[in-house]
């Protein structure tokens, strides 16, 4: 048996090693272990990275992942390997949040809204009509918003937000029946994320918000559990949700940041010597993804239109009245209940100005 001649084995047919032979063998083995390893590279750090989206170019998550991998390859070679698990393979988003906190999953990329279940102050970013466009989001994040939330995340959960990207489009309403205004939205059952911010936003708009996990949306619409959902166009396209709905009211009610979160244990796996390179790679991947989103969003809308989706714009007058309603009923009361978020709203207002 190859490699077994210095070990006790039943395949030695009853022959036993002499005590002297055993001592010699054991001594040689210990001496070998004591020798320094020369020229042998340390095994790469392996990080498990969760996403609910697909692994293709129509996925905001995957574009971020590809750029992150490319950045790491340039900066640290093969010292860090990030394994991407798309399509909710590692579980529902709400469950993955807990697993990232515990350390059984290292990283996840998702809308900031899903982490509001662990850090309630993030829910401010999910309040309807808070942002005007993606440029407004980026300016807000880079001038105060990201700093506030990363410090809160670390102190409350031990996790770190290492990337602030965007989805390809703002979130709008997608339904089986044609919805063209607020009156038509009244009492329509819509799938929303399971966060209070989403629920309250759509209650104020007159709909019946119904929290359902993202990977269950297709079946829920198909079977009539809900009449539609709110999401971004690229996600609709990549998950083939246009097969179950054919109408979209372009509310553009939410420009939800796409955040990458790494758990305390996941970050601790990375040696201090290459941790700055890792964090730089993550930040740059977000900036790159934001740029890609500008063209990918337009492409997604065009592809949906070509596939038969009918789009209805939201009237400016309705948008302005709803924005005022949201400020009075949601934005300001939220900062009053969560004073630590007052600088966040101030930064968002300053970026708008």
Q: What is the pLDDT of residues 284-304, one digit of tens each?
A: 999 999 999 878 889 989 999
Does the residue 226 lie in any domain?
A: yes
The reply to whether 40 falls in a domain is no
Percentage of the residues of the chain whose pLDDT score is greater than 70 = 88
Same domain, 250 and 325: yes
pTM for the structure as a whole: 0.78
Question: pLDDT-based confidence at 42, cuts 50/70/90?
Answer: confident
The Cα–Cα gap between 106 and 303 comes to 34
Q: How far is CA 262 from CA 165, 191, 294, 338, in A?
A: 15, 28, 26, 24
The answer to whether residues 249 and 269 belong to one domain is no
CATH number at residue 69: 3.40.190.170
Domain hosting 177: range is: 171-255+303-352
Rounded Cα gap, residues 309 and 350, in angstroms: 36
Residues 226 and 322 in one domain: yes
Residue 9 CA to residue 6 CA, distance in Å, equals 9
192/322 same-domain check: yes
Average pLDDT, the chain: 88
Tens digits of per-residue pLDDT, 82-105?
A: 999 999 999 999 999 999 999 999
| Residue 270 belongs to a domain | yes
State residue 287's pLDDT score.
96
Do 58 and 139 lie in one domain? The reply is: yes
Same domain, 160 and 288: yes
Q: Minimum mean pLDDT among 30-44, 170-184, 218-232: which range?
A: 30-44
Helix or strand (DSSP H, E) at 260: strand 257-262
Q: Which residue has the tokens 């048996």?
A: 1
Mark whether 176 and 248 lie in a shared domain: yes
Whether 259 has a pLDDT exceeding 50, the answer reads: yes
Answer whether residue 19 is part of any domain: no
- Residue 87 zone, left/alpha/beta (φ > 0; ψ -120 to 50; rest): left
Domain membership of residue 8 (yes or no) is no
Q: Is residue 205 part of a domain?
A: yes
Shared domain for 177 and 160, answered yes or no, is no
In angstroms, the first-to-last Cα distance of the chain is 77
Are residues 276 and 292 part of one domain? yes
CA dihedral over 144, 150, 151, 153, signed as positive or negative: positive
Residue 4 predicted with pLDDT over 80: no
pLDDT of residue 58: 76
Q: Any idea of the CA torsion for 57, 58, 61, 64, to the nearest 10 degrees?
A: 40
Q: Is residue 347 part of a domain?
A: yes
Please check whether residue 26 lies inside any domain of the structure.
Answer: no
Domain count, the chain: 2
* pLDDT for position 38: 47
Residues 83 and 163 in one domain: yes
């Amino acid at each position: 048996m190859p490699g077994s001649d210095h070990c006790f084995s039943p395949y030695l047919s009853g022959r036993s090693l002499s005590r002297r032979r055993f001592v010699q063998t054991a001594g040689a083995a210990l001496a070998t272990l004591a020798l320094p390893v020369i020229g042998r590279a340390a095994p790469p750090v392996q990080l498990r990275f969760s996403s609910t989206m697909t692994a293709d170019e129509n996925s905001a998550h995957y574009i971020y992942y590809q750029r992150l991998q490319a950045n790491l390859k340039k900066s640290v070679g093969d010292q860090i390997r990030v394994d991407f698990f798309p399509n909710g393979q590692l579980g529902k988003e709400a469950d993955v949040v807990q697993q990232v906190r515990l350390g059984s999953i290292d990283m996840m990329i998702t809308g900031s809204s899903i982490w509001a279940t662990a850090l309630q102050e993030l829910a401010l970013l999910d309040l309807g009509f808070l942002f005007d466009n993606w440029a407004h989001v980026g300016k807000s994040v880079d001038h105060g918003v990201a700093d506030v939330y990363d410090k809160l995340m670390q102190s409350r959960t031990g996790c770190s937000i290492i990337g602030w990207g965007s989805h390809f489009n703002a979130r709008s309403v997608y339904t089986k029946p044609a919805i063209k205004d607020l009156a038509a939205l009244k009492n329509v059952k819509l799938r929303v994320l399971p966060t209070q911010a989403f629920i309250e936003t759509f209650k104020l708009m007159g709909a019946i918000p119904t929290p359902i996990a993202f990977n269950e949306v297709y079946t829920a619409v198909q079977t009539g559990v809900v009449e539609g959902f709110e999401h971004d166009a690229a996600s609709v396209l990549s998950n083939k949700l246009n097969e179950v709905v054919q109408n979209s009211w372009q509310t553009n009610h939410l420009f939800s940041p796409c955040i990458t979160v790494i758990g305390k244990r996941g970050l601790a796996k990375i040696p201090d010597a290459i941790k700055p390179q890792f964090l730089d790679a993550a930040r740059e991947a977000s900036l790159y993804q934001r740029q890609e989103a500008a063209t990918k969003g337009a492409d997604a809308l065009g592809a949906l239109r070509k596939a038969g989706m009918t789009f209805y714009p939201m009237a400016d007058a309705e948008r302005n009245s709803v924005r005022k309603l949201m400020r009075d009923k949601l934005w300001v009361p939220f900062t009053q209940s969560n004073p630590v978020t007052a600088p966040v709203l101030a930064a968002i207002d300053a970026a708008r100005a």
